[in-house]
Amino acid sequence: MTGQKQVAVVAGVGPGLGAALCRALARSGYTVAALARTEEFTQGLAQELQQSGGSLLPVKCDVGDGMSVDAAFARISREIGTASVYIHNASQLVAMPSLEITSAVFTEAWRVTCLGALLCTQKVIPGMLQGGRGALLFTGATGALRGGAGFAAFASAKFALRGLAQSLAREFGPRGIHVAHVVIDGLIWSGRARHGVSQDKCLMPEAIADCYLQLIGQDRSAWTHELDLRPDVEKF
């Protein structure tokens, strides 16, 4: 891979934070693989980045399915190389009364959010260890710190993801892999007001992406493991 761009993989790419992460990484010189359940959006994003000199490979993948993950990362390795950055932005938002949550709904939230993170990191860690460096970043949420009423499935999955990130950091940090968990404490702006929250009270995806880049670029003598981000008006 000498002389070629570094490779970053972003799982859970849609019009919001996922797309902002891909754009920021591409501007920083990475060849990006964008994982999503469908390729409709990511193909358009690939064309957009190509026009500005960036490079993005759309990859169809269900991160909670082992066979799908195997196929996705085999393609990434074959077509663009070994990843030095992996960002797990995939999650399943579930908001409903706890008595209405079915086992299927609860399992799906955990499968995408936490199991998917494990399956994907298992694919990239060996290459990072071989190269002696790498970064694993996990998109967390307020629900990773405290479970709100009506968010039992979502909070449980995000709590699990936070625990996974802590375990990976302790296991692989001493071996050169920077593991960081980012708590997104607030609504991310999606181009329209949601739940009555206006743009000035939301986190901007581009600003979040800049923070991820700062984490990736940190010197190993001063790594951040957990970072919480919120708009200035958010109570905490």
Name the CATH superfamily for 7-229. NAD(P)-binding Rossmann-like Domain (3.40.50.720)
- The per-residue pLDDT for range 68-112, each reduced to its tens digit, is 999 999 999 999 999 999 999 999 899 999 999 999 999 999 999
Tokens for 166, please give them.
Answer: 């802590």
Place of tokens 């990239």: 124
End-to-end CA distance of the chain: 45
Amino acid at 40: E
Q: Which of 24, 95, 98, 91 is nearest to 64 (CA)?
A: 91
Average pLDDT, whole number, for the chain?
Answer: 95
Residue extents of the structural domains in the chain: 7-229
One-character DSSP codes across 93-139: ---S-GGG--HHHHHHHHIIIIIHHHHHHHHHHHHHHHHT-EEEEEE
- The per-residue pLDDT for range 102-159, each reduced to its tens digit, is 999 999 999 999 999 999 999 999 999 999 999 999 999 999 999 999 999 999 999 9
Indicate the DSSP class of residue 203: B
Q: Taking the alpha carbons of 119, 123, 126, 132 in that order, is the dihedral positive or negative?
A: negative
- 193 vs 191: CA distance, rounded Å: 7
pTM here is 0.95
Residue 2 has pLDDT above 60, yes or no: no
Query: What pLDDT, on the 0 to 100 scale, is given for residue 4?
Result: 65
Residue 180 has pLDDT above 70, yes or no: yes
- The per-residue pLDDT for range 184-216, each reduced to its tens digit, is 999 999 877 777 889 999 999 999 999 999 999
- The per-residue pLDDT for range 20-45, each reduced to its tens digit, is 999 999 999 999 999 999 999 999 99
Query: What pLDDT, on the 0 to 100 scale, is given for residue 5?
Result: 81
**54 touches 32 (CB < 8 A):** yes
Query: What pLDDT, on the 0 to 100 scale, is given for residue 54?
Result: 96
**173 touches 166 (CB < 8 A):** no
